[in-house]
Chains A and B, each alone.
Chain A
Amino acid sequence: MVATLEIRNLHASVDAEDDLILNGVNLTIRQGEVHALMGPNGSGKSTLANVLMGNPAYVVREGQILLDGEDLLEMEADERSRAGLFLAFQYPVAIPGVTLGNFLRHAINARLKAEDPESKGIPIPQFARMMRQKMSALEIDQSFAGRYLNEGFSGGEKKRAEILQMAVLEPRIAVLDETDSGLDIDALRIVADGVNSLTGPDMGALVITHYQRILNHIKPDFVHVLYGGRIVESGGPALALELEEKGYEWVREKHTMLQAAEA
């Protein structure tokens, strides 16, 4: 079955009384599809990523998020992950004392235990073999697995570590939140290659970006523009090029007027 993530009329804010950051987002992503979500700063892109994953810092005020018809809003972040959703963080947090390898082994074991409470977890040799493969595919040094999670990682290392986690956990729908920002050309290529090797029939992706340049490497099937907390434009790859050329100003002009008229 093809996994489907449906976002319906999603409204969200930081606190229950705060102004809405997401103001009625509608979007459907199917396994196998690559969607790019673009938008100016402050349009709600990162909020959408975090609300999808279940960040407790946000409150969903209205709307639905369904994965294969199951209500993600009823689930904590860990359950959403085990259901097949993944978020590559824009700013992955450093966790001292927890190595990347140990962390990923726990993540895999959490999946195995959710399926079978009696599970003893992945055998360590099998895990080590799998990690070696995935790390070399992403041109990540093997010593990475023994380093503390994101601690002292450069910007590029953090992003590659996020992609490594995605490769290991094999989600059905992945959300990449500004994974391209701050990367040099080589790192961007490696990250994009990593994403490309995972997207395909088994994984759908929502690639959130401010800039068009990552879309030279990751070819989206659909491009959407988020503005004022809702998707205001949708189209094919040509839309991204148009944004690159014209900037976000025209979006702002067009939709500020429209939204004002609505209000």
Chain B
Amino acid sequence: MAVVRRRSTGPQAPEYTKADVEALSEKHDEPAWMRERRIQAWDLYENTPMPYMEEEWRRTDYRHIRWDQASTLATANGTCAEQVPAKHLEPLTGDEQGGLLVLVDGKVVRREFADELHDQGIVFADLRAALTEHEELLREHFMTAAVKADEGKFAALHAALWDHGAFIFVPRNRQAALPLHVVCYNSKSGAAMGHVLVVLEENAAATVQVEYASGHGDEHASYIGATELIVGAAGNLRFVSLQDWNRQTFEFSHQRGLVGRDAQLDWVNGVMGSRLTKAFIEVDAVGAGANARVSGFFFADHGQFFDLDTQQNHNAPLTNTDLLFKGAARDNARTLWQGMIKSLPKMQKIDGYQVCRNLMLSDEARMDSIPGLEIEADDVACSHAATFGTLEEEPIYYLMSRGITRPQAQLMIIEGFFDELLQRIPFDRVRGRLMDEIEAKIIG
């Protein structure tokens, strides 16, 4: 179990005012309902203390964030797609892309979208533009069902001050045959309030890749973000998100998939970057027969701190959730995974699986895993586990005895550790990208 630090003072709050909220709505000439929601969220934010002693926060100390740097609302100027490293622009989920949306500092710098998808009524848009062009869809889905403002201090702050993002919508019975790719890149310090909203109506399907990254920065930055994945009945969403923030970025995010009747969500979540990440990653199986698979990859080094809080909510009978997180930590990095499977009362025939496997690559690294179950039904199959391992000398020697160098042997064993996770990922190039990330973390 983790040792709880005693804290004399709680964390400072970021430096915002209600006037910032109003100014944002004014600047973008937002519809009245959005203005109201922002103000409501702001009031909620103001009435919520900064979290630090609650169960899900007490192991995560973020008091060293310098909000004077990290709360500045970033404004784009002189941004262009060329600032984004090529690896983030590469399509990883298919040969061809149905769409590419690149946001730098919140501003759209590139947008491509295949006519054949557009003609089917599929929407692939900058969230700001969508607020005008697809106002009713946003009014219905934006922070109403998946991630809500009342989930916590940072959710409320995000709801009050979100300023950019992407909106993907696939209408009933339509399939986005080509994958869609969103890149959120920051070239500055300050706050990024990004939001990704994916809505699949009944029997719709899509594959989406989202990359978060930022360039080198000397000052603190924050990402206070939300990801909402709403999969309607019999829908199928394959969602890959890869996070590679710079080492000055503090992420506070809420991510939730809502999976409807007989629908399928396959979610790959890679956490590589940031100085500190506190992410709430949840799936709600809300319709009978819903099926969700979550595959998490994390690798922390040099003073990084990842706190990944996953929850699998079985809110309907006959639902299946399968979560596997695998991570490594080296140097003096720290990781924490807290998992929970919950069911509403009498949700029979549910199958929940949650496992977190940890590989500690140095004596200074620290990894904690806390699995949990809260099941209020009796005819269920739920299992959870956490495992910890280190890099042992015996297998290294075995590989070396065949002529493989020590660094290569270590890399092979570490990649072998992640293989169980990589095998679950249905995209060759996502696997390849994660292998590259492992290599970069090992070789430095």
Contact = CB atoms under 8 A, between A and B. Distances in A.
A76 B394 CA distance: 14
B413 to A, nearest CB: 6
Given A81-B402, A103-B412, A106-B408, A97 B397 contact: no
B418 A110 contact: no
B394 A93 contact: yes
B444 interface: no
Contacts of A81: 400-403
Nearest to B389: A96
A104 B399 CA distance: 9
Nearest to A150: B398
B416 interface: yes
Contacts of A80: 401
A52 to B, nearest CB: 10
A255 interface: no
B56 interface: no
Interface stretch (A53-61, A65-73, A235-243): A53-61
Given A56-B393, A106-B408, A95 B416 contact: yes
18 contacts: A55-B397, A56-B393, A57-B397, A77-B400, A78-B400, A78-B404, A80-B401, A82-B403, A87-B401, A96-B419, A97-B419, A98-B413, A106-B404, A110-B402, A110-B403, A111-B403, A148-B419, A165-B402
A215 interface: no
Interface residues of B, number: 23
Contact of A93 (B395, B404, B405, B417): B395
A183 B204 CA distance: 56
B391 to A, nearest CB: 12
Contacts of A140: none
A89 interface: yes
A107 interface: yes
B415 A107 contact: no
Nearest to B417: A97
Which 5 residue pairs are nearest across A and B when measured between Cβ atoms?
A: A97-B416, A97-B419, A81-B403, A107-B402, A77-B400
Nearest to B421: A97
Given A95-B416, A110-B408, A56 B401 contact: no
B397 A169 contact: no
A97 B405 contact: no
A93 to B, nearest CB: 5
B7 interface: no
A95 B419 contact: no
A92 interface: yes
Interface residues of A, number: 31
Contacts of A106: 399, 404, 408, 412
Interface of A: 53-57, 76-78, 80-82, 86-87, 89, 92-93, 95-98, 102-104, 106-107, 110-111, 114, 148, 165, 169
Given A76-B406, A82-B403, A107-B402, A98 B416 contact: yes
Interface in B277-333: none
A110 B404 contact: yes
B292 to A, nearest CB: 24
A111 B405 CA distance: 10
A113 to B, nearest CB: 9
B219 interface: no
Nearest to B418: A97
Contacts of B412: 95, 98, 102-103, 106
A96 B408 contact: no
A160 B386 CA distance: 34
B393 A57 contact: yes
Interface string B29-67: 000000000000000000000000000000000000000
A86 B415 CA distance: 25
